[in-house]
């Protein structure tokens, strides 16, 4: 079974023996984002940004919230490409911010740009909904772990 199959079954509420990925990690509840779509190499996450919950001292959405959102979306997109027994770790994460956000519905759309045997490169665009204005763009490089490395969690 591929990781994508296990993720899809877990999202449907099925228990998958040996599947250790938590698709509802505490950070999701803390920040308040949700998974909208999971396909092979692609995910869409959603966040209702709120000034009273997510703002920085200037009153706009804190950049770290966008980093968490894009990191999670890219992480799951990477995970969908893995085979049973494989894992990954992020080696690089970068983000650019294009416009300030206060109270706004956002979508983070992540995709695998290049998937190799040992490394995966991903990008994620965060857009406002329904305007579809680009809010931020991030990229990530993940190393694929196998064998004993994959078991060290």
Q: 85 pLDDT exceeds 90?
A: no
Q: Confidence band (pLDDT; 50, 70, 90) for 57?
A: very high
Q: 23 pLDDT exceeds 80?
A: no
Tokens of 142: 């993940």
Tokens of 51: 């000034």
Please, are residues 105 and 50 in contact by the beta-carbon 8 Å criterion?
A: no
CATH code of the domain covering residue 142: 3.10.129.10
- What is the rounded distance in angstroms from the CA atom of residue 77 to the CA atom of residue 115? 11
Q: What percent of the chain has pLDDT over 90?
A: 71
- For the chain, what is the mean pLDDT? 90
Return the closest-CA partner of residue 128 out of 99, 93, 91.
99
Please, are residues 122 and 109 in contact by the beta-carbon 8 Å criterion?
A: no
- According to the model, what pLDDT value does residue 128 have? 97
- According to the model, what pLDDT value does residue 78 have? 96
Q: 18 pLDDT exceeds 80?
A: no
The predicted model gives 58-74 an average pLDDT of 96
Provide the domain limits for residue 130.
Answer: 3-151
pLDDT digit string (tens) for 107-153?
999 999 999 999 999 999 999 999 999 999 999 999 999 877 777 65
- According to the model, what pLDDT value does residue 47 have? 97
Sole residue written with tokens 């979306």:
73
- What is the rounded distance in angstroms from the CA atom of residue 131 to the CA atom of residue 11? 28
Please, are residues 111 and 123 in contact by the beta-carbon 8 Å criterion?
A: yes
The predicted model gives 66-91 an average pLDDT of 93
- According to the model, what pLDDT value does residue 20 have? 66
Please state the domain count of the chain: 1
């Amino acid at each position: 079974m591929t990781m994508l199959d296990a993720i899809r079954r877990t999202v449907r509420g099925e228990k998958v023996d040996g599947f250790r990925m938590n698709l509802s990690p505490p950070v999701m509840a803390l920040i308040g984002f949700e998974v909208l779509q999971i396909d092979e190499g692609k995910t869409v996450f959603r966040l209702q940004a709120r000034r009273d919950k997510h703002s920085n001292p200037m009153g706009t959405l804190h950049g770290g919230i966008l980093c968490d959102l894009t990191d999670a979306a890219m992480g799951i997109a990477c995970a969908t490409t893995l085979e049973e027994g494989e894992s990954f770790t992020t080696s690089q994460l970068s983000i650019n911010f294009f416009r300030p956000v206060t109270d706004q519905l956002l979508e983070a759309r992540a995709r695998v740009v290049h998937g190799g045997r040992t490394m995966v490169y991903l990008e994620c665009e965060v857009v406002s909904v329904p305007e579809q204005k680009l809010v931020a763009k991030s990229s990530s490089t993940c190393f694929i772990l196998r064998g004993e490395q994959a078991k060290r969690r």
